[in-house]
Chain A
Amino acid sequence: MIFTPAVLRSEWTKVRSVSSTMWTLASALLVTVALSAGLCALTNAQFDNLSQQDRLTFDAAGTSFSGMFLGQLAVIVFGVLVVAGEYSSGMIRTSLAAVPQRAAFLFSKLAVATALAFVVGMVTSFASFFLGQALLGSHRTGIGEPGVLRAVFGAGLYMTLIALFSMGVAAMLRSPLLSLGILMPFFFLISTILAAVPVAKDVARYFPDQAGQKIMQVVPSSDGSAYGPWGGLGIMCAWVAVALLGGYLVMSRRDA
């Protein structure tokens, strides 16, 4: 059996007894909600200055998640610290001496941290949506409009998957510095820049964040994507699965 109640309870104690959990998840929530709200307010004020094209493709729901590009970095830090923190502190040896079944150890840890990320992700996405819509004034949309609930729910899922992806990468690299050094620039710079370059765009749209973000959009983007919102989330899930598989193989094969 992969999940044992004892290991789950222990991992829950672990994750809530370090302050980094609180700080990273709280900043993910605050940064996303605050930045989204600010961008919504700005859009509302500047709406009349937008081009005809932009006004026609305006995505009220998507705009209220625009702070997530920054907020996701805190989620990445959370995921990395939960897993790689075991290695940097040396706690991994104590943990594995107590739980020799490494699959049980890794997946229980991931399950607890993912559940936590899911709750925080959902709170963040709903808070971002309702606050953002309130600030959008007459350009707002409602939760009952077609596709909107899916986008709000999807934004929470997106944050959860980002956390899970980071945990998989951290389990492979086993060092918080190395993991953050790769994940942060990738999600903050490389992916965003490549997505704007004409030729690289076709590749970049299959990156986990670019694909996963489709779920948050209600109005399809104009560049003619090869996949829809759920297709995008599926691509992201594939990335996550690969990262987790790699993390599991490293954890089970290598010496601690």
Chain B
Amino acid sequence: MIEAVGLTKRYGVKTAVDNLTFQVRPGAVTGFLGPNGSGKSTTMRMILGLDAPTSGQVTVGGRRFRDLPNAPRQVGALLDAKAVHGGRSARQHLLCLAQLSGIPARRVDEVLGVVGLQEVAHRRSKGFSLGMGQRLGIAGALLGDPQVLLFDEPVNGLDPEGIHWVRNLMRKLAGEGRTVFVSSHLMSEMALTADHLIVIGRGQLLADMSVKDFIARNSAGYARVRTPETSEKLVRALSEAGAHVQPEQDGALRVSGLALPHISDLAFDLGVRLHELSPHQASLEEAYMRMTQAAVDYRSTQDQRFGLQQAGPVPAQAQYGGYPPPHAAPQHQWQPAPGPNPYQTAPPPQGFGAPPAGPVGVSPAGPHPGAMAPPVAAPPTAVPPAVPPPPQDAPPAPAAAPSLSKRESES
């Protein structure tokens, strides 16, 4: 159990972590989400006693980390895949960590096997790829067989197979009753791995709830309904039918809780003409981005490439994420904007910098396999699915990572 109370860290005038209070409970994977620079790593460092909080405190099992007797046997952490001396071999790196807490050398070889690094155990870690470094860091965290595990961005640089392996490892550790705290900036990854979510932005707590609640609250499908003129009749009828109706900026209605054919029937009965009736699905990634939008420190702007490229006609379809534009929409609303486009129905296939979509689909053990699928019956031609459907012949989850392929160990 990790418990933070009023945890605050200031660097000069910048507040990196602002009055965070949360609990990380045993027996579950708790995802720690936030954009870059939101204070995730600082919080992790304060849990481990590396940074001293400006105010507030954080305890592990009721004690501050520095007061824990034999800390490596109680808390294992992967903070930074590069936090190793490159001149030391993988085995020696783990050996000097093991000796600190009286862990026998046999255990070093065990964890090297668990993370699949035994073939490169005697190579200097300088030549390791980022993925191999992550595996080495995870090995270090597992070394003391601790009850509390912290992982800071563990899937960074891992190949799809490695991501799959890490996900199963986390779930297995939590299933054994351990406390597992994993940071990530990828909502899609956490939706598959975590049971509970703690979302922060600019160092402040934005959400602390179970993944199930987060999905229920943020990922409901809705329909956009546009009528030629504002129709009080239709709004009242929709509300009476149990729908939740919100006006959108451009005069359209955002209707949730009612299937599309039902909306159409109601409109027909009332004699209201519809100019638009379209299914929409807010993905978790979108919900997360909406939540953290105000808290993003580093935002990219459109690359205008002035003077570099002659302006040519852009294929119209490419800009709309494959979704046909309603003819009634004013042109300016369909210009690509730097922020999330409110009219975009689903993330474009290239996604939001998510890892290769492959493993997302092939997780039969994932907690919410249908989490990203639109609940509203949507015409498959109109909305590109956010995630490819899980193949029927998906392989069972491997218990331990297979050893590194020859290709990776030679890279």
Interface residues of A (CB under 8 A from B): 6-7, 9-11, 13-14, 17-20, 85-86, 89-94, 96-101, 255-256
**Chain B residues in 8 Å Cβ range of A85:** 85
- B50–A7 touching, CB < 8 Å: no
Interface: B88 (CB within 8 A): yes
Which of B74-82, B219-227, B382-390 sits within the interface?
A: B74-82
Closest Cβ of chain A: how far from B125's Cβ, in Å?
Answer: 9
| Main DSSP-derived SS at the A contact region | helix
Interface: B328 (CB within 8 A): no
- Interface size class, chain B: 20 to 34
Closest Cβ of chain A: how far from B181's Cβ, in Å?
Answer: 14
- A6–B100 touching, CB < 8 Å: yes
- B95–A13 touching, CB < 8 Å: yes
- B101–A98 touching, CB < 8 Å: yes
Interface: B96 (CB within 8 A): yes
Chain B 31-60 near chain A by CB (<8 Å), digits 1 or 0: 000000000000001001111100000000
- How many cross-chain pairs have Cβ atoms below 8 Å apart between A and B? 88
**Chain B residues in 8 Å Cβ range of A10:** 96-97, 99-100
**Chain A residues in 8 Å Cβ range of B92:** 13, 17
A97 to B80, CA, bound (A): 12
A91 to B88, CA, bound (A): 11
**Chain B residues in 8 Å Cβ range of A14:** 85, 88, 96
**Chain B residues in 8 Å Cβ range of A89:** 82-86
30 intermolecular pairs with C-beta atoms under 8 Å apart: A6-B99, A10-B100, A14-B85, A17-B89, A19-B87, A86-B85, A89-B82, A89-B85, A90-B82, A90-B84, A93-B45, A93-B48, A93-B50, A93-B80, A93-B83, A94-B83, A94-B97, A96-B50, A97-B48, A97-B71, A97-B77, A98-B72, A98-B100, A98-B101, A99-B71, A99-B100, A100-B49, A100-B67, A255-B50, A255-B52
**Chain A residues in 8 Å Cβ range of B77:** 97
Residue from A9, A94, A101 in contact with B84 in the complex, judged by beta carbons closer than 8 Å: A94
Interface: B404 (CB within 8 A): no
- A90–B102 touching, CB < 8 Å: no
A11 to B85, CA, bound (A): 13
Closest Cβ of chain B: how far from A175's Cβ, in Å?
Answer: 15
Closest Cβ of chain B: how far from A3's Cβ, in Å?
Answer: 13
Interface: B65 (CB within 8 A): yes
**Chain A residues in 8 Å Cβ range of B366:** none
A92 to B48, CA, bound (A): 12
